[in-house]
Structure 1
């Protein structure tokens, strides 16, 4: 895997580099990233920010197989579903401005869009609220094209699907339960939330995130794919192991039809610290975001003790209390993160290999790192 390295630096909440200031726990952070690469992950980068805004950075493994090129300590990666808290934040900001209500029906903003009969079960947007979309309690499921093999990846990695098409496909899938009667993780919920943002504002959801989150917070290293099949430099390459094989397949180049964010550990820490620190939402809306429900048993295996708010996950800390965040995974890039309730401590971890048969172990090791950083042990 190459030689592990640790970089200790200081940075302001904006993510701008500052004077070099050592952190005592930097070498200890290194143990956790090394434990992740020991599972077979090609490369890992982690950045933890303490109460004083100082960052400890650790990298392990290599940026590319068959080389000794080190993982960049502030490399770009696809954050995937870690974009969801940003979508939820914009919806809640619009609610705070009186431009929508999260207890309104989806039909009120997207007439005729959420309707269908999946395997005999009716889908009706008049019975689903915006809150249920952001909370994953709508019952809606996904019909996402994916890659189950190396051959499928090479054949379909540049296929394009519009958001409207992905929503239409989902309308033919039987809902998991009646609205509000269960919990099921669903990307379709957030595709619909993005469409509602556009319906209310007249702008694309990306523009709203740019104007409301990225620019005000100085997140200059957060960009949209905009049709590109790769990432800005520097970045570590991503790899996937497909079912029935132990081969590492380079899956860096892919067309992300959902247009989720590409970012860095510095920028994502900036976002989470601002969100929980009350810089993006008023107390009323942040309180709504943190009203949680139980998750399903399958997801509980990945997030032990976890609960789900509005685009935000709550998990317990071994030292007491809880933390918030929302990980993600896309074509080999896996993001784990966490932020203290007051927004003062945070950590973001990016892995560059998806190991389906070790998914729970990967998540557990990343969660150990997050807990270490937030507990300050």
Structure 2
């Protein structure tokens, strides 16, 4: 997002409807504009409704043999593109659109993590740059950093090296794809993700290579205050105490992110005081 701004394709404070392929507004506040920055800081008032979970995971294969298929995994034939998926949720004429898909608070007011908003941010980038999201990120992030074993789909990586996914120690999960893939669907390795992590840390120290310094500062600058929260979690590794641009910041100086989908979990944190860095990728659920 900051790279697109750096290239002059958009401004973080632009209304999303300047770049969105379809109109989006909070029906509780129809005259309040949602901005790109609000998408990036999870203050857009867009929620993750039940339709996101019910329709967001598509099986890779038609037949999955002994691998477990979760109840919310949709059949291979139900595959749809990101634009269609998000339009169904967010557009007034979308088939899953409901007032309850939005908070009853003004855009920009309250933090609520939203995977749907992250997906919409990718569509905004596509419209603003006239490139697909995977092409844009390949050109400006993955290739410059040498992340040659990373991609947004099974066809962009060497699938023969892909780890199996597990629900638990005994139960193998079927392979699936996330329709809303920009919210965390990057297929990568610990080595490749470490390259991105190293760049993020270098940026914190003012030694960026793929962003100019101003863009990098914006990426990791804390952008929220107490008024954006009903309650703030001050634990060391909670990445929602504050937000940069899609980057989490904990109350104790940790910069990074956590994430998970069925059969996969990732934690990545850099301590700005001790300079300690931690990166974990597992091919199963993490128990809390």
TM band (smaller chain): 0.7 to 0.9
**Residue 82 of structure 2 is aligned with which of 148, 152, 163?**
163
2:180 matched residue in structure 1: 258
Instruction: Pick which of 288-297 and 158-167 moved more.
Output: 288-297
2:195 matched residue in structure 1: 270
Contact 2:15 2:33 in 1 (8 A): yes
Q: Does 1:97 align with 2:7?
A: yes
Measure, in 2, the Cα distance between the counterparts of 1:102 and 1:305. Answer: 20
Q: More strand by proportion, 1 or 2?
A: 1
Measure, in 2, the Cα distance between the counterparts of 1:97 and 1:343. Answer: 33
* C-alpha RMSD over aligned residues: 3.3
Measure, in 2, the Cα distance between the counterparts of 1:258 and 1:226. Answer: 15
**Residue 110 of structure 1 is aligned with which of 20, 23, 28?**
20
1:137 matched residue in structure 2: 43
Change (3 A) 1:298 1:354: farther
Contact 1:142 1:170 in 2 (8 A): no
Measure, in 2, the Cα distance between the counterparts of 1:213 and 1:338. Answer: 19
Please state how far the C-alpha of 1:179 moved relative to its aligned partner.
0.4
Q: What are the superposed Cα offsets for residues 285-331 of structure 1, whole Å, 9 maximum, x if unpaired? A: 222222232566497777178322210011255xxxx2211121122
Q: TM-score w.r.t. structure 2 length?
A: 0.75
**Residue 188 of structure 1 is aligned with which of 116, 141, 148?**
116
Contact 1:306 1:314 in 2 (8 A): yes
Q: Report 1:9-158 matches (<5 A).
A: 91-110=1-20, 112-115=22-25, 117=27, 121-122=28-29, 127-143=33-49, 144-146=52-54, 152-153=70-71, 156=74, 158=76
**Residue 347 of structure 1 is aligned with which of 278, 281, 285?**
278
Q: Does 1:286 align with 2:208?
A: no
Q: Secondary structure at 2:161's aligned position in 1? A: coil
Contact 2:17 2:24 in 1 (8 A): yes
Contact 2:147 2:192 in 1 (8 A): yes
Please state how far the C-alpha of 1:94 moved relative to its aligned partner.
1.9
Change (3 A) 1:116 1:104: closer
Structure showing greater radius of gyration is 1
Q: Does 1:237 align with 2:164?
A: yes
Q: Which runs of 5+ in 1 are unaligned?
A: 1-90, 242-246, 362-377
Q: Secondary structure at 2:266's aligned position in 1? A: strand
Please state how far the C-alpha of 1:128 moved relative to its aligned partner.
0.7
Measure, in 1, the Cα distance between the counterparts of 2:273 and 2:161. Answer: 32
Q: Does 1:205 align with 2:133?
A: yes
